[in-house]
Amino acid sequence: MEINSADFIASYPKESACPRGGPPEFAFIGRSNVGKSSLINMLTARKGLAKVSGTPGKTRLLNFFLINKMWHLVDLPGYGYARVSKGDRKGLGNLINGYFARREELSCAFVLIDSNISPTKIDLDFINSLGEMQVPFVIAFTKADRIGKPQLEENIAAFMGKLSQSWETLPNYFITSAERRTGREEILEFIGKTLRTMKL
Residue 161 has pLDDT above 70, yes or no: yes
Model pTM score = 0.93
Q: What is the mean pLDDT of residues 31-57?
A: 83
**pLDDT tens by residue, 115-144:** 999 999 999 999 999 999 999 999 999 999
Residue 82 has pLDDT above 60, yes or no: no
Q: What is the mean pLDDT of residues 160-169?
A: 96
User: What domains can be seen in the chain, in order of their start residue?
Assistant: 6-197 (3.40.50.300)
Q: What's the Cα-to-Cα distance from 121 to each of 9, 12, 117, 162, 170, rounded to whole Å?
A: 34, 29, 12, 10, 17
Q: Taking the CB of residue 112, how many other CB atoms lie within 10 A of it?
A: 24
Percent of the chain past pLDDT 70, that is, above it, reads: 90
- Could you give the angle at the alpha carbon of 148 between the alpha carbons of 143 and 112, nearest 5°? 25
State the average pLDDT for the chain: 92
Residue 189 has pLDDT above 80, yes or no: yes
What confidence score (pLDDT) does residue 80 get? 75
From 48-57, 97-106, 119-128, 144-153, the region with the lowest mean pLDDT = 48-57
Residue 102 has pLDDT above 90, yes or no: yes
For residue 51, name the pLDDT band (cuts at 50, 70, 90): confident
54-58 contacts, C-beta under 8 A, 24 or more apart: 55/83, 56/31, 56/32, 56/81, 56/83, 57/32, 57/33, 57/81, 57/83, 57/84
What confidence score (pLDDT) does residue 48 get? 84
